[in-house]
Amino acid sequence: MDRRDDDRRLVMRVLSQWRALAGEGGLPRRSQIDPRRFGQDWANCLLIDVDPQPRQSRLAFIGERLRDPTGPAFDRQCLAECLEDTLLHSATAHIDRVVVEREPLAEGVGVHVGAAVLYRSILLPLSEDGRRIDGVLGAANCREVA
């Protein structure tokens, strides 16, 4: 399998799990997210606790493949503290649109630890009460551009 196919499939697999949890026209609850459902893809996932000011939202979980080995240890940082030249920063940059539009959002070009990358990511809204977006499930992966 081509690496690019696997990159696309990660996003589609996570989106499929989100849709299964959402049911008919609703949004999944944060409490429904079970890492076991995502298998190996969980290492490329993240969970965000949404704040009224989206860049102040806090990372509740970062999969091991999304962590920056040169960055600070994971300690529920807010999104504004993500290092700018990382996949994590690129993948979470548009959280405000997800909160306002209440729809999944996927993106694609960025920088990771100084190298230009093509990335695939998705941000998926979560809501415990079915009205207010209080969480976001995300997934991302990348490959360097020659």
Q: β-pairing, 58-62 with 105-112?
A: unpaired
Amino acid at position 101, single letter: E
pLDDT for the residue numbered 48: 96
Q: Enumerate the domain spans of the chain.
A: 3-144
Which residues make beta-bridge pairs with 116?
Answer: 111
Could you tell me the pTM of the whole model? Answer: 0.86
CATH top-level class of 3-144: alpha beta
pLDDT for the residue numbered 107: 65
Tens of pLDDT along the chain (146 residues) come to 444 455 568 999 999 999 999 988 789 999 999 999 999 999 999 999 999 998 899 999 999 998 877 766 778 889 988 888 888 888 898 898 888 888 876 766 666 767 777 888 899 999 999 889 999 999 998 887 77
